Amino acid sequence: MAHEVVVVGSVNADLVVRVDRRPGPGETVLGSDLATLPGGKGANQAVAAGRLGGRVAILARTGDDGHGTLLRGALDAAGVDVSRLLVSEGPSGVALITVGPDSDNSIIVSPGANGRLTEHDVLAARDVIGAAKVVSLQLEIPQPTVVCAARAAADAGARVVLNLSPAVAVPSDLLALADPLVVNEHEAAFLLPGREASDEPETLATALLELGPKSVVITRGPDGALVGTPDGTASVPSPRVEPVDTTGAGDAFTAALCLRLARGDDLETAARFAARVGAAAVLGEGAQSSYPAEGDELPS
């Protein structure tokens, strides 16, 4: 049976240290023991949607190192179809993550094998991509690969969800395929010269729609999300929770959104569910390790 969600994106080993404060230039601080956890925006989305019971596949590349084995195992354990998880010689992607006292995170990504996921790989997986209900894309893999995957999906009638993370400039024809474009307030401001992340989310959503995406979702952390379509905007609340670690919460949100869209929800209904999944994802350490499973009680 065809997949509900196909993720084309990154897989990283997350090397996580908790710190009381981050070092300035030339400074050393001591942190917690190192935790090595499966992550990467693409893999996080695939695992989150798989845990929620979705039929999910991932097109991605690991390296041929121990991290690659860890990453494949995590995807497999979540029920994700890894038949298109390719292996390159050399290191897997790695994310160096510090988690601060406010449960906030700072991340540096070394792309490793993610940088070797090519348009050729996309074309070789066109059968899987084209048969999906929703194809989910982020920007930790080469941009030509993202553009190729978006076109392959759209040409075959699959819905394209584009998470502009990390924020980089993208061609307008890629934005035009997004339905929705998913951004946080900082990524929204990045796309909108002259606007600030602190601007009214309705204003940001309206301005983003003028860039061409069919719809937009602005994620707002504890403040929920703002959904924008040509018919108007709607605010979606987030349950109030005490965060432990916010790493990967946005990926869980996007995964849940994709899954509900694949199952026929309208965008606002899908975003209401996604906000609850995103809230659940901040309640534990790490990204994937805190994702809820199908049937788990979600914060409300």
Q: Which residues are catalytic?
A: 251
Q: Which of residues 84-123 bind ligand RIB (CB under 6 A)?
A: 95, 107, 109
Q: Which of residues 255-284 bind ligand RIB (CB under 6 A)?
A: none
Cβ proximity to ligand RIB: between 107 and 197 the closer is 107
Q: How far is the CB of 79 from ligand RIB (least distance, A)?
A: 19
Cβ proximity to ligand RIB: between 49 and 152 the closer is 49
Question: DSSP characters for the chain?
Answer: ---SEEEE---EEEEEEE-SS---TT--------EEEEE-HHHHHHHHHHHTT--EEEEEEEESSHHHHHHHHHHHHTT-B-TTEEEESSPPEEEEEEE-TTS-EEEEEE-GGGGG--HHHHHHTHHHHHH-SEEEE-SSS-HHHHHHHHHHHHHTTPEEEEE--S-----HHHHTTEEEEEEEHHHHHHHSTT--TTS-HHHHHHHHHTTS-S-EEEE-GGG-EEEEETTEEEEE-------S--TTHHHHHHHHHHHHHHTT--HHHHHHHHHHHHHHTTSSSSSGGGPPPTTPPPP-
Cβ proximity to ligand RIB: between 165 and 215 the closer is 165
Q: Which residue is nearest to ligand RIB (CB)?
A: 39
Binding region for ligand RIB (CB under 6 A) out of 6-14, 83-91, 226-234, 255-263: 6-14
Cβ proximity to ligand RIB: between 144 and 166 the closer is 166
Write the DSSP symbol of residue 159: E
Q: Return the closest-CA partner of residue 225 out of 214, 234, 256, 277.
A: 234
Q: How far is the CB of 105 from ligand RIB (least distance, A)?
A: 8
Q: How far is the CB of 248 from ligand RIB (least distance, A)?
A: 4
Q: Which of residues 200-259 bind ligand RIB (CB under 6 A)?
A: 247-248, 250-251
* Residue 164 engages ligand RIB in binding (rule: CB under 6 A): no
Say how far apart CA 52 and CA 294 lie, in whole Å: 4
Q: How far is the CB of 230 from ligand RIB (least distance, A)?
A: 29
Cβ proximity to ligand RIB: between 182 and 287 the closer is 287
Q: How far is the CB of 231 from ligand RIB (least distance, A)?
A: 30
Cβ proximity to ligand RIB: between 107 and 156 the closer is 107
CA 185 to chain centre: 15
**Residue 41-70 contact track with ligand RIB, rule CB under 6 A, x = bound:** x--x--------------------------
- At position 169, the amino acid (one-letter code) is A
Binding region for ligand RIB (CB under 6 A) out of 10-18, 82-90, 225-233, 275-283: 10-18
The residue ranges that bind ligand RIB (CB under 6 A) are 10, 12, 14, 39-41, 44, 95, 107, 109, 140, 247-248, 250-251, 287
